[in-house]
Each structure stands twice: as C-alpha cells, then as structure tokens.
C-alpha cells in the first residue's frame, strides 16, 4: 500500500510536537499536560519527491487502568502497521522503566527503528546518552522538536529510508464525524471499516483530537475524520476542551460532509442544535444520525421524532438516519446517503435551468411590492458550493420580505432535491450600464444634427 512511520514513546516526551514539525501541520494537540494523545493520529511527511504516512501515538505507560492499557495497545498496533519506528526519548530526564520496556519490546518485534532524543535545549544532568550506549545503541539523533533544532538532519536520515513512491497519494472523499461526547462516534467508525482504529470507552470524551483514517469501500477511497465530542460550555472550560473544539471545526472545514451522531437515548438537546448550526454556518452538508436506536422501543422512537426540537424548522431540511453502531445496523443507508450528499453538494447548476425554475416560481407566487415598487427578479446564476449559492439579480436588493426569500429557498430546495445541503440565495440589485451617462455624438453626427436644425428653421 504505502510506507508508514510510527512515533512512539512514553507520555509527554514530545511525540505530538515532532509529528507537527515533520508534517508541517498543527494536527496534534500539544500541551504540557501528560497523555493528551489517546488515538493514532495520521499525517503525511513529504520531502522532495518522497511521501510517507506518519503516525502519532498515545504515550505507552505501564499503568494497568483500562484507558491507559487501551492507549498503549493502540500505539503497538501502529508499530505493527509501520515500516519504520521513531522511538522518542526525553533528553531532559533520566530513563525510566517504561523507556527500557519499550526498547525491549521493539527489539523483540524485530522492527527497524531509530532512537531520537528530544528536548536537548533543556540543560540537565540527564544520563540518557550513557544509558543508550550501555544498551548497545551508538547511533541516535539529538533534537528539540519545539525549537526545530537538528530537525533537518533527522529529515535527511528519514528520506534515505523512504522508498520512492511518486504519484502515490492517499486521497478520497472526506467525512467528518461530530457529536456530543460518548455519542458513539469511534464505535461507528471502527465497525464501519471493520478495524479497531480508535479507542472506545464508556468514559465520555476519550477522543480529544481529530483523527484522520483513510479506507476503501467498493474500490472507492474515503477518509473518516473522527473528532472530539463538543461539550457544553467548551469555550469556557479547560483549554484542552477548547482546542478539541477548534480541531473539530477545522475537521468540518476539511471535510466534504459532516455526519452528526446523536445518542437516541438522550434525545436532541440544545447543545446538538448549536453544533449543527455551526456545521450549517460552514456551508457543509450534514447527515443527522440517531445512534443506539436498538435501545429504544417503537413508542420511544416515535416520541423522539415528535419532540419540539425535531419538529422545528431548523431540523426540517436535514435528512435523518437511525443506526446501531454497536450492532452494525443502518450502515448501508448512512453510506449511500453520505455518498449521494457529497455529489449533490458539489454539483454545478446551469444558468438556463435555474432561470426556468425562477420563472416558474415567480408565476406560482408573484413577488411583493416594496415601498410601492413591484419587486422584479430578472435572472439567476450559480455562484459556487459550500454552501450551494444562487445569485439573483433584481431591481431591489434590500427590504425583500423574509417570507418570500424563504418561499424561493424552499422551492429551489425541493425542486433540486437539496435536503441536507446548505443553500444561500444572494439578491443583487441590477444596475443600468447607461445610468448617468449621455451618448456622445461624433463630429460627423454633430454636423449632421446642425444641418437638420438649420434646415428646419
């Protein structure tokens, strides 16, 4: 398929900082807090004509609690997937048992790896280098990922180990998965692609970063972007939660469509509507998915759809699907609708077809008068995607009644089948190109005009 490099080490040695530096992104959250990365984070390391997948992993810890154990397992899965491993150490501290355990297991797996000592900018009496010599490792790199010290030397070494893979890039339709914490986003992705790619836990908020996962279905390429659950009050709580929100918003910008997961047991709450409103504001199509539907009775499901929030105008134009991520039910419908909505959201509409529809809608309901002047809609043209935009030229661009705008929007949406697609109608006042200008006669026309006037007199 393609080569890949995994960055591993115990918590807080600087793996995410190095990942960001090598991929030239800020895709991994970086903080002084230990253990922020909980899933494998994917990015691309490119140098000249070479390109490889880079995997940032969670810190490998010897703690026996379920979350830390799951994070460590994810890191070792990344090692098994990769053709090369970067074993990162903290050069400002002495080695601990976890470092030696990782080294021992790497050797046992017989994986090619390089040792990189990070944080050399911090002056300490650390014995890391001496310990490496004692372990029989004489070749290693000393860097500061934060301050880019010796990063170019590391890149040059990695370049020699990456085979030429020109024109082999991972691309595909990008699907961002959003929702409140513990809505089942990671379970949904894992079961849809039949791989344990993401940490799944009953503890809400296990995913705190955005994770990009390439996969194929029916020979078509896709990329899932699993995002952190957006909590209520995210702007005012701990900075990690705020950065998770920023990553989720960045995922929306990168995506072709957003799949919004809602826990059917908890019904739709104000926080769900706020998140959906952010998606709508971005211009991206959205598919609303009720997860854990298997835990509800038919009466409860009926009550779910009859709730005040689900009956609001806000939700009327959004397609809804019911699934059970745990039991893999409803996946086919989600996938078909997702593919359909991506194609529809990227569709260009011809000017002639739009003008025929506009003429039809105007005949069905005549435009109102504004300040005694009849509103005239002259023509319409396609203005772009994300959101799908139509530019309407008229003799008025302001004070157009909201209900008539809504009538036109609903009419276009229904006729063009734009459910779940964001639609924006922009009214522009058409200008007279000759307004304020007088026709200037040529010298010949001026002489002729004078002769005619003289003849008449």
Residue 369 lies in a domain: yes
Q: What is the pLDDT of residues 225-257, one digit of tens each?
A: 866 655 554 443 443 444 455 567 667 878 899
Residue 275 lies in a domain: yes
Among the residue ranges 164-168, 182-186, 295-299, 402-406, the one predicted with the least confidence is: 164-168
Q: Cβ-count burial of 271 within 10 angstroms (0-12 exposed, 13-18 middle, 19+ buried)?
A: middle
Mean pLDDT of 273-302: 91
Among the residue ranges 4-8, 169-173, 351-355, the one predicted with the least confidence is: 169-173
Cβ atoms 258, 174 nearer than 8 A? no
333 with 369, same domain: the answer is no
185 with 298, same domain: the answer is yes
338 with 367, same domain: the answer is no
Residue 167 lies in a domain: no
127 with 141, same domain: the answer is yes
Question: What is the rounded CA–CA span in Å between residue 33 and residue 210?
Answer: 18
Residue 268 lies in a domain: yes
In this structure, what are the phi and psi dihedrals at residue 3, rounded to the nearest 5 degrees? -75, 160
For residues 137 and 454, which has the higher predicted lDDT (pLDDT)? 137
Residue 436 lies in a domain: no
pLDDT of residue 73: 79
139 with 186, same domain: the answer is no
Half-sphere CA count of 424, side-chain side, radius 13 A: 16
- Which residues form the domain of 14? 4-161
Question: What is the rounded CA–CA span in Å between residue 121 and residue 218?
Answer: 50
Q: Indicate the residue among 345, 360, 387 that finishes a domain.
A: 345
Question: What is the rounded CA–CA span in Å between residue 133 and residue 129?
Answer: 6
190 with 107, same domain: the answer is no
154 with 16, same domain: the answer is yes
Residue 410 lies in a domain: yes
Residue 450 lies in a domain: no
106 with 247, same domain: the answer is no
- Strands 113-118 and 84-90 turn out to be parallel
In this structure, what are the phi and psi dihedrals at residue 307, rounded to the nearest 5 degrees? -65, 155
- Strands 113-118 and 140-142 turn out to be parallel
Q: Indicate the residue among 161, 196, 229 that finishes a domain.
A: 161
177 with 152, same domain: the answer is no
Among the residue ranges 112-121, 181-190, 245-254, 318-327, the one predicted with the least confidence is: 245-254
Number of domains in the chain: 3
Half-sphere CA count of 435, side-chain side, radius 13 A: 4
What is the DSSP annotation of 332-370? HHHHHHHHHHHHHHT----HHHHHHHHHHHHHHSPPPEE
pTM for the full predicted model: 0.58
pLDDT of residue 353: 96
For residues 101 and 443, which has the higher predicted lDDT (pLDDT)? 101
Question: What is the rounded CA–CA span in Å between residue 421 and residue 138?
Answer: 58
Cβ atoms 399, 391 nearer than 8 A? no
Confidence band for 349, pLDDT divided at 50, 70 and 90: very high
Q: Indicate the residue among 345, 377, 398 that finishes a domain.
A: 345
Among the residue ranges 44-53, 180-189, 218-227, 346-355, the one predicted with the least confidence is: 44-53
For residue 431, is pLDDT > 90? no
186 with 134, same domain: the answer is no
Q: What is the pLDDT of residues 33-70, one digit of tens each?
A: 444 444 556 677 777 767 777 888 888 887 666 667 77
Residue 455 lies in a domain: no
48 with 69, same domain: the answer is yes
305 with 288, same domain: the answer is yes
* Domain harbouring 317, CATH code: 3.40.50.300
pLDDT of residue 373: 83
Q: Integer distance in angstroms from the first to the last C-alpha of the chain?
A: 93
pLDDT of residue 270: 84
């Amino acid at each position: 398929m393609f080569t890949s490099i995994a960055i591993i080490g115990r918590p807080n040695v600087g793996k995410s900082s190095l990942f960001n530096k090598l991929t030239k992104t800020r895709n991994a959250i970086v903080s002084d807090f230990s253990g922020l990365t909980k899933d494998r984070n994917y990015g691309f390391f490119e140098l000249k004509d070479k390109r490889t997948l880079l995997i940032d992993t969670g810190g490998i810890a010897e703690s026996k609690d379920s979350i830390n154990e799951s994070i460590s397992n994810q890191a070792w899965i990344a090692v098994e997937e990769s053709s090369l491993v970067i074993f990162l150490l903290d050069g400002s501290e002495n080695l601990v048992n976890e470092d030696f355990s990782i080294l021992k297991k790497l050797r046992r797996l017989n994986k090619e790896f390089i040792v990189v000592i990070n944080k050399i900018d911090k002056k300490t009496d650390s014995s890391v280098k001496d310990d490496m010599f004692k372990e029989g490792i004489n070749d290693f790199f000393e860097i500061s990922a934060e301050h880019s010290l010796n990063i170019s030397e590391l890149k040059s070494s990695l370049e020699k180990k990456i085979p030429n893979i020109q024109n082999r890039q991972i691309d595909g339709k990008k699907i961002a998965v959003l929702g409140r914490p513990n809505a089942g986003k990671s379970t949904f992705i894992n079961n849809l692609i039949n791989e344990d790619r993401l940490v799944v836990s009953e503890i809400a908020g296990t995913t705190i970063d955005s994770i990009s996962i390439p996969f194929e279905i029916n020979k078509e390429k896709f990329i899932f972007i699993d995002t952190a659950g957006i909590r209520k009050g995210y702007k005012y709580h701990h900075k990690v939660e705020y950065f998770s929100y920023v990553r989720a918003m960045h995922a929306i910008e990168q995506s072709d469509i957003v799949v919004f997961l809602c826990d059917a047991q908890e019904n739709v709450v104000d926080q769900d509507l706020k998140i959906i409103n952010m998606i709508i504001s971005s211009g991206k199509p959205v598919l609303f998915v009720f997860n854990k539907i298997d835990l509800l009775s038919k009466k409860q499901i009926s009550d779910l759809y009859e709730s005040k929030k689900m009956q609001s105008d806000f939700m009327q134009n959004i397609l809804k699907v019911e699934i059970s991520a745990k039991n893999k039910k409803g996946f086919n419908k989600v996938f078909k609708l997702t593919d359909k909505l991506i194609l529809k959201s990227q569709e260009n509409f011809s000017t002639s077809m739009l003008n025929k529809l506009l003429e039809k809608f105007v005949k069905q309901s005549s435009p109102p008068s504004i300040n005694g002047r009849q509103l005239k809609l002259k023509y319409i043209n396609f203005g772009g995607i994300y959101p799908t935009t139509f530019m309407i030229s008229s003799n008025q661009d302001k004070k157009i009644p909201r209900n008539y705008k809504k009538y036109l929007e609903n009419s276009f949406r229904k006729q063009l089948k734009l459910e779940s697609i964001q639609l924006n109608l922009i009214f522009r006042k058409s200008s007279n190109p000759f307004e304020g200008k007088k026709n200037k006669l040529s010298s010949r026309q001026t002489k002729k005009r004078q002769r005619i006037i003289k003849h008449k007199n």
